Structure 1
Amino acid sequence: MSVEPGRFDVDAVDAVVLDIEGTTSATGFVVDVLYPYARARFGALLAARGAEPEVARAVAQVRAEAGEPDADAARVEEILGRWVDEDRKATPLKTLQGILWAEGFARGDLVSHFYPDVIEVLRRWHADGVRLYVYSSGSVAAQRAWFAHSPEGDLLGLVSGLYDTENAGPKQEADSYRKIASSTGVAPERLLFLSDRPGELDAARAAGWRAVGVRRAGEPYADADFGDHPVVADLEQFMTGTTAVTSVSAVTAADLEEAGAVLAAEAARFASFGWMRGTSGNLSLVLSRDPLRLAVTASGRDKGELTSSDVVLTDGAGAAVGPGRPSAEAALHARVARLTGAGAVVHVHTVASVVMGQRSPEGLVFEGLEMLKGLGHPTHEVSVTLPVIANSQDMTVLGDRLEAALAPGMPAVVVAGHGIYVWGADAREARHRAEVVEWLLELELARR
């Protein structure tokens, strides 16, 4: 699969879809100004306007998502506060924040933030006939208020449409971008998405869009691995034509079969250890970065009896591309590949990982052990943390937890009550690392 360099041509698109936080505007403004503003007013909103349809619907969604159907207003406020602390992209949270922010902007309490390069570029694109849309985890109400109350006045006239996680869907799922393309009436290949998050770019590209990363100094994702995505430091680069782009050939049937043979052999090895009992566990190999494509072991198969055909090709969101049904955790494999640049991901259910995950929900620290060199450390004189995260059947939630927990020098995460995820540059490295991590867990189990 060869990669050929090229150039990105903004004239090749009819519409640009913009993320906000980290892309057009500073995440710090949202976190340091908007979040506290809304948080201080949740209680009053719930008390005074809890019967209003939009508020009542959001409260019902909070109770459902938290699994607390009988939560009273005080408990709902507490849940919302916790979600703010976690920076959780929950739709009901964004709805209630949006209501409060819109009112704050309207009263003059708030004025939105845009990076210095943004507004002029948006005006130039609009003048040139390029349609502009917004797709943000913030609610449509919040987006409308944001663009209507900029430092340079009302910018809503530049924007043709607003999308959020409620009217479009999760930002790391390709179907959300397909829905937006259908809504706008613009062909996917004529749509350009700008974001600071590689996972969102992968999902857009999987839906057939063009996608460019925005890497702004000081933003949370400034050091993220954007893979083969073109990257700009600011929007002015589109005006100077300095955005590189790459393209990659398609994954062939032979590529998939070859990957299937590798994964079958790896699965047989893990099954012989007792790490993939029944039909549990799953493995993956990255076959393409542009767009992201993975070979993932098929669902419901005995991992000790896999053949080269027992794999499914998935996209950057973990959805099947072609026949077959991948393991349920395929979306998490794809997210690990995007976040870490891994070429292979191993997920196994070992007794030691389940027990230690339950005993040490805060994570496990290992130091002074020769086996740590098996994780790439040059010496045993290091201290590394193996993160432990709570389990969830929602792969987006689980992925958010994994992303937040990633620890330097540790290519693995324990999912409490479930198992471990380990990754490496290829299947061999991922296997070796899985064996090392399991050894560390067994050592800790023996110590206790």
Structure 2
Amino acid sequence: MEQTATAPPPTFSGYQKFLVAILALLQFTVILDFMVLSPLGDALMKALSIPPARFSFVVSAYAFSAGAAGLLTAGFADRFDRKKLLLFFYAGFILGTLGCGLAGTYPLLLVARVVAGLFGGVIGSISLAIVADEFAVHQRGRVMGVVQMAFAASQVMGIPISLYLANRWDWHAPFLLIVALSLLICLAILLRMRPVDKHLGLQSDTNAFAHLWHTVSKPDYQTGFMAMIFLAVGGFLLMPFGSAFLINNVRIAPEQLPLIYLCTGFASLLVMPLIGRLSDRFSKFALFTVGSGIAIATVLIYTNIGPSPLWLVITLNVIMFMGIMSRMVPATALNTSVPAPKDRGAYMSVTSSLQQVSGGVAAVGAGMVITQADSHSPLLHYNVLGYVATAVFVLCLLLVYRVSRLVARRQPATPTAPAPPVAALAE
């Protein structure tokens, strides 16, 4: 892999370190709220008598509502202080998650997931806009490496603890845990985080809808949108039925699920900072390519296995998720460099919206492919989802290559002699 810079990346201030930590914790709660559905899937399907096709709507309800919220708010995303936006949508997310913790029927759970998605689906785009506003381009890989550790942390701590609580009490307990933690994070943001409003002086569009149209009509931005859409689809194909596949096809006991998620998340937690540093020092696309190759190989093996020993399942999960996360960090870091500063909020909102909607479509599609004779029978056609995911990975690779070339054209030339660290991307 070729190095893209000769100077060392700039260091972080104390406030920047706080900002990275609070954004990572915030992402942890939002990701855990979404991710916990998969390991709880088998318990939910049995407790509420939900067949696979209807359970896919529990997953996609969040995704579709998050996508709709992203599109509706995209035009306004650059017209307000990002801190205030973050607090507003995080408060709504907490209410939706509380509804999940109190729901006792399938319809109520579905409504609660819609509310959680309407607010939670916008938080990721606001966080990315804050990262792009507050950190130089050669810091963003490390920032995204830490923030994306929220995914791994949700598996190391969140999902095992959630499954323990669900096994000890019932499936409502994990959502109530998320609510309690989210309230503490919300308080920290309110008291410590500074306003993020420098972008307000750069606005030229007279109204929100004009700003939205200005954002979605740019060809360069459309390339980024397409790449991020396909980045999300592969995961949404496989994720909803992950626990049901392990329990009913691979014959893993429900009590062993926490250990699988713990080992997978711990390995990802170790590798994420390394991936972040590598993406700042070397070609982000080269790193994305390596991660895609690992993900493709392990997905094809994993989705075709039958009853297997626990050690093999853990090994495959660890390698597969390391490959997947090696795709997410460099691709997301590249994507933050696509929009101009005045368009970042809208661009990130549209990106998040498109990812959620396309992911929701993928989840519904997966539910139509998967069949099951009864709640204790093996899932049929899970390997078909693996083949489709592989094709999506390849297409995404081509699109991220186009994004990397676009970003490279907009960066200043690499200095031939020692020079001060590059502070920002030439917009």
TM more than 0.5: no
TM-score normalised by the chain length of structure 2 = 0.27
Instruction: State the structure with more CA Rg.
Output: 1
TM-score normalised by the chain length of structure 1 = 0.26
| Higher normalized helix content (fraction of residues) | 2
| Higher normalized strand content (fraction of residues) | 1
Q: Which has the higher relative contact order, 1 or 2, with Cα contacts under 8 A spaced 6 or more apart?
A: 2
